[in-house]
């Protein structure tokens, strides 16, 4: 299995958003929600409107870990949710399949992201890329690996750094400009 990477360049994130939005508002919002919460795709897809509308946090029992997860909805994401769900009923899935009354599957989500990534010129992308992208940019803005470790529910900072793709080259580049 190929290891997916975070999307490191902000312009690439914007290209990806544009490619998804051209195809479907649903697909665009799935990407935006994943980017801005750090939730796993397996926890995003079964969400219903009532789980996010007029909320400050998304609370789920994480599929992978079976632990309770709480994900903050900031002001910008709250507005995105309000706009996206405006004409939806509380019991509707946020990301319904076009063929069934069920939510998208992981495979469908993967295909959607890969197709948009191809149009946006992005490689090494998968469903985990949204979560990794949040981690990468959060870390670069805050340098707070402890909070990120808590968001991701990782057991060590080393796991978190490896997960978000902090590479030896990036460490070396920072060390090149550091001298006491």
Model confidence at 155: pLDDT above 90 = no
Which stretches of the chain are assigned E, i.e. beta strand? Answer: 57-61, 68-72
Q: Is 131 a catalytic residue?
A: yes
* From 26, 40, 132, 161, the catalytic residue: 40
Domain edges within the chain: 10-176
pTM of the model as a whole:
0.89
* From 26, 28, 84, 128, the catalytic residue: 128
Superfamily designation of domain 10-176: Intergrase catalytic core (1.10.443.10)
Q: Is 59 a catalytic residue?
A: no
Q: Is 8 a catalytic residue?
A: no
21-78 per-position pLDDT tens digit: 999 999 999 999 999 999 999 999 999 999 999 999 999 988 887 777 889 999 999 9
Cα-based distances in Å from 50 to 26, 38, 58, 134:
16, 19, 10, 24
């Amino acid at each position: 299995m190929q290891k997916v990477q975070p999307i490191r360049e902000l312009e690439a994130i914007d290209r990806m958003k544009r490619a998804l939005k051209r195809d479907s508002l649903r697909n665009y919002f799935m990407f935006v929600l994943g980017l801005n919460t750090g939730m796993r795709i397996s926890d995003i897809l079964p969400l219903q409107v009532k789980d996010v509308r007029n909320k400050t946090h998304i609370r789920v029992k994480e599929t992978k870990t079976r632990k309770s997860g709480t994900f903050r909805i900031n002001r910008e994401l709250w507005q995105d949710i309000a706009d996206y769900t405006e004409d939806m009923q509380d019991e509707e899935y946020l990301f319904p399949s076009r063929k069934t009354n069920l939510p998208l599957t992981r495979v469908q989500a993967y295909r959607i992201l890969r197709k948009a990534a191809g149009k946006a010129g992005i490689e090494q992308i998968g469903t985990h890329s949204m979560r990794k992208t949040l981690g990468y940019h959060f870390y670069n803005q805050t340098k707070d690996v402890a909070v990120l470790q808590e968001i991701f529910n990782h057991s060590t900072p080393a796991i978190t750094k490896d997960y978000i793709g902090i590479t030896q080259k990036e460490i070396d580049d920072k060390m090149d400009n550091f001298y006491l």
